[in-house]
Chains A and B, each alone.
Chain A
Amino acid sequence: MEKLILRKVEAGREEMILNFGPQHPSTHGVINLLVETDGEVLRRAIPDVGYLHRGLEKIGEQVGYPGYMPFTDRIDYVAAMFPNEGWASAVERLLGIEAPPRAQWLRAISCELCRIASHLVSVGTMAMDIGAFTPMLHGIREREKVNDLLEALCGARLTYNYHRIGGVAFDLPEGWRDECLRFLDHFDAFVSEFDRLISWNEVYVRRLAGVAVISREQAISFGLSGPNLRGSGVDFDLRRDLPYGPWALPDFRKAVSLEVPVGRGFVGQVGDCFDRYYVRCLEMRTSARVVRDALASIPEGEIAAKVPRKVKPEPGEVMSRIESARGEMAYYVVSDGTDKPYRVRVRTGSFTAMGIIEEVSRGLMLADLVALIASLDVVAPEIDR
């Protein structure tokens, strides 16, 4: 970065160096982008991450296996179910235990509801960054309803701390299933309304179609994952292609239908901002479908497996990958045989997504940069951890 500033001073060039953040309204938290612009046109934008670093991986090495669960919520507080699930499944594999079926179903239900909640924020803020304020509040309104459901399930609206090593913390409360089904009925109508309100709005489409195209090859080589990868036309979803937890259970897969929406240039090119945006809109529908199917087929039984009181896995290492709302979330955990992990490393979708900004931002307009950041759906806590 210093080099960039020096180069500018030396050559006496016309470009302006602009600090886009860390307190900018559309950097979704505290992200700084060092932007080199020539008027409205960007030469490039260099992400400068680390403003929200809280040392969460290091904390994991200090507090022991069960105690780390509430901390994982903070890795991605917009979709806190996923870090929960990732941590639980990592430790379970380290211990060699498996959660009972009902717990697996509950994990899938809670995670898919959480995916809906997270995507609602994503598509809403995307619209807001493009300048339309109303869709954002509609999204937040629906998210509140999801939060109501999750609150009834686990007592929290943001940092759920719901999953446990070997299962989940609470069973479905009385009447929750009907409430959830009522919400899902309403939600399908809502997504259609949202499409009418903003997705197919002419101005919106023109702002996003063909903007900041990430090609298939680029997406793979930069390690994009989740909706960002699928937006570029790569049909890859860990739930289907590398099943984990509930998705690895044949009964669950039989009961639940999972379509993986893939960007195919809905209005512009494959891999443009609109594809990444619309893949999320479609994923909300598929997640709702998964929740519906899972609720219809949920088995009775225990919600937690027997776990030793002192969690002390054998020495070894494990890599657990799950499909989070922001792409692949992977926990790499090394055990040295004590009650605290020797090493915890979290791979998140947002962090890898930041890497591609510099590559794609060349030649964009300033307004397109905002669209690009929003379409990658990065959240600061997940980038910095």
Chain B
Amino acid sequence: MTGPRHERTPAKPANPRGVLLGTLAFGLGLPLVLFSAVLVLSPLSRPALAAALVRRVGQALGKDWDPSGWTATGQQLLYGVSIALLAFVLVNFGAVVSGMTVWWEMRVSSRMQSRVGYNRVGAAGFFQWVADAVKLLFKEDLVPADADHALFRAAPYFVLVGFALVFVALPFGESLVAADLDVGVFYVVSVTALVVVGILLAGWSSNSKWALFGGMRSAAQVISYEIPAGIAILVPVMLAGTLSLQGIIRAQGPWPWQWFALATPAGPLAFLVFFVAQLAEGNRTPFDLPEAESELVAGYLSEYSSFRFALYFLVEFGNLWVMAALAVALFLGGWQVPFAGPETFAAARGAGELPSAGWWGLQVLSMGVFAVKTLLVVNLIVWVRWTLPRIRVDQMMTLCWKYLVPFAFTALAVTMVWQILVARVPSVGVATGLVLASAALLVGAAFLRRTFRNVAAAHDRVDLTNW
């Protein structure tokens, strides 16, 4: 009577070891390939380096290729090809990352909810997201008869474009960014606003009352939360003195007390405001009002099916990663590697036309730091989603306008004063960072302690083996 009484023996795969190895090869290989493609392509899509590479390949083949001697059209073509390759990789990166996020979220949530979760396709159900995407591709692409056909069909593309464009300015590593725009943050904030256009279009064009509710809620929510998010972003912008994402990361350091979230007294507040506002902009619980299942059936998604639905889904989960990546870049030190300052990178590059192997190694390291931090933040968002209930529309607005906006302005004002102070007494800055970092450590320890206590109170024990 303890345990399920009717245990069904799951269908054993013919070759469990093979399935495990295949899953591992794919699950580790695909991100590796994508990350390396980003790694290689993003520096090499610069004209100078692309030209150098072509010269090097020419030397190896014994041919005298020199793009600087080519016509302008030829040079532009070379540049265009390398950029197109990078764009292709980045868009696929978004799709794959969002798929893997789905898998991770489902595994974590099933563990939180004492259920088995994904376990059918591949080892630990890893290929479920591939299977789901394929299934959705095969489904009928249904457009409701009374819907506004053109808008209904167009809406998913707005969402997808708003999502994909973020990757242009997203820094993966020290030199690993498609374009280090000098208006980077501004650009990211504005292209993500395209997503809400898509959602609003979906809500309106579906010609369904539930979808309209969802669309209106989404518009109200995303536009409101842009304001605290924007002001919170101004804090790192002001501290770094630049809008460029790379510039903001460079202005921070590798250690926690050098991160903008912990380096200034207003840092934690600004980070909190930014994090909450990002949850709201990403329609994540507790702000999943636009698609609140128990209230609005599926909100703006109600009438979507097939691949259009898959696109919304992709963007929703991909945005999770983007959100986390932005938080890491702006507040948590980005890709900064301990013991490797800008001079280390410069020294490792060497004097050659193409950078040396050591420089590439450092790039890999910085990319790894960035990826790990981002995954940790993603995990945090997943925890939040599967723990908290949803807030109500009026509470959502109250939280934004009565709490987050004033908090964000406070953080901004405190940061201004603090900057003047630090300019006079630099030691205050270091002390603040150290104090806040230790406070963060204490909070983490208290969290762990409480978790263990709660688990013990439920006559349970912490068990990390049963994945």
Contacts and interface: CB of A to CB of B under 8 A. Distances in A.
Contacts of B209: 16, 18
Given A138-B113, A144-B4, A198 B389 contact: yes
Interface string A346-371: 00000000000000000001111010
B390 A131 contact: yes
Contact of A151 (B5, B288, B294, B295): B5
A28 to B, nearest CB: 10
Interface in B215-241: 216-217
Contacts of A203: 286, 388-391
B57 interface: no
Contacts of B386: 133-134
Interface in A181-240: 182, 185-186, 189-190, 192-193, 196-198, 201, 203-204, 206-207
A138 B114 contact: yes
B135 interface: no
A375 B115 CA distance: 26
A322 B151 CA distance: 57
B458 interface: yes
A97 interface: no
Nearest to B292: A131
Given A24-B297, A26-B295, A151-B5, A132 B388 contact: yes
A26 B294 contact: yes
Interface string B1-42: 110110000000000000000000000000000000000000
B112 A193 contact: no
A133 B1 contact: no
Interface stretch (A71-79, A109-117, A122-130): A122-130
B292 A367 contact: yes
Nearest to A137: B113
Contacts of B217: 40
Contacts of B295: 26, 366-367, 370
Interface stretch (B69-77, B364-372, B392-400): B392-400
A162 to B, nearest CB: 17
Residue among A39, A131, A152, A182 with the most chain B CB within 10 A? A131
A185 B2 CA distance: 14
Interface in A8-60: 16, 18, 24-26, 39-40
Nearest to A130: B389
Contacts of A204: 389
Given A16-B209, A207-B392, A370 B294 contact: yes
A190 B458 contact: yes
A306 interface: no
A207 B115 contact: no
A197 B387 CA distance: 8
Contact of A130 (B1, B294, B458, B459): B294
A149 interface: yes
A370 B389 CA distance: 13
A189 B459 contact: yes
A167 B113 CA distance: 39
Residue among B1, B4, B293, B386 with the most chain A CB within 10 A? B1
Contacts of B395: 206-207
A284 to B, nearest CB: 15
Interface residues of A, number: 44
Q: For this complex, into which size category does the number of interface residues on chain B fall?
A: 35 or more
A141 interface: yes
Interface in B252-287: 285-286
Interface string B284-310: 011010001111110000000000000
Interface string A137-171: 11001001000110110000000000000000000
A259 interface: no
B150 interface: no
B113 A149 contact: no
Contacts of A24: 297
Contacts of A40: 213, 217, 393-394
A32 to B, nearest CB: 14
B113 A25 contact: no
A314 interface: no
Given A148-B5, A189-B458, A192-B458, A131 B294 contact: yes
A25 B295 CA distance: 8
A368 to B, nearest CB: 7
Residue among B285, B389, B393, B394 with the most chain A CB within 10 A? B389
Contacts of A39: 216
A137 B213 CA distance: 28
A196 B209 CA distance: 37
A257 B292 CA distance: 42
A186 B459 contact: yes
Nearest to B394: A365
A367 B1 contact: no
A207 B5 CA distance: 38
**Leading 5 A-B pairs by shortest Cβ distance:** A131-B390, A132-B389, A137-B113, A26-B294, A193-B458
18 contacts: A24-B297, A25-B294, A26-B294, A40-B394, A132-B390, A133-B113, A134-B109, A149-B1, A179-B1, A186-B459, A198-B389, A201-B388, A203-B391, A207-B389, A207-B395, A365-B394, A366-B213, A367-B393
Interface of A: 16, 18, 24-26, 39-40, 127-134, 137-138, 141, 144, 148-149, 151-152, 179, 182, 185-186, 189-190, 192-193, 196-198, 201, 203-204, 206-207, 365-368, 370
Given A132-B285, A133-B109, A367-B292, 7 more contacts: A148-B4, A198-B389, A203-B390, A207-B390, A207-B395, A366-B296, A370-B294
Interface of B: 1-2, 4-5, 109, 112-115, 209, 213, 216-217, 285-286, 288, 292-297, 386-395, 454, 457-459
